[in-house]
């Protein structure tokens, strides 16, 4: 069953991906807290109101992608095996690189 979740759109039928690294660009983070709401066991806000990782447990890849997708500034980059970037997708990367 298809849903409207960001992770479904990003991952499509490829459910076998393994998240190996998550990087938060503190310069892009505006402290909106969306990532913390979706994955409170992975993300928290520091004293500067910037997100940081509180765990390296990346087993729930769909939720990590969902948290990254929820970020209004695409401050969260998610990588998989071989350093492949899983998020943001190519059509949103120009926003990060600008």
Total residues interacting with ligand SF4, rule: CB under 6 A: 16
The span from the CA of 9 to the CA of 4, in Å, is 7
Q: Which 56-75 positions form the footprint of ligand SF4 (CB under 6 A)? A: 70-73, 75
* Smallest distance from ligand SF4 to CB 1, Å: 27
Min separation Cβ 91 and ligand SF4, Å: 18
d(C-alpha 57, C-alpha 72), whole Å: 23
* 61 preceded by a cis bond (ω within 30 of 0): no
Q: Find the binding residues for ligand SF4 in span 14-43 (CB under 6 A).
A: 24, 29-35, 43
């Amino acid at each position: 069953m298809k849903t409207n979740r960001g992770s479904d759109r990003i991952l499509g039928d490829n459910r076998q991906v393994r998240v190996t690294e998550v990087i938060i660009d503190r310069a892009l983070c505006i402290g909106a807290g969306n990532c913390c709401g979706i994955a409170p066991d992975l993300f928290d806000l520091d004293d500067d109101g910037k997100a940081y990782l509180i765990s390296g447990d990346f087993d729930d890849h769909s939720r990590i992608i969902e948290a990254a997708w929820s970020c209004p500034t695409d401050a969260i980059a998610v990588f998989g095996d071989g350093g492949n970037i899983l998020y943001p997708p190519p059509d949103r990367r120009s926003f990060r690189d600008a």
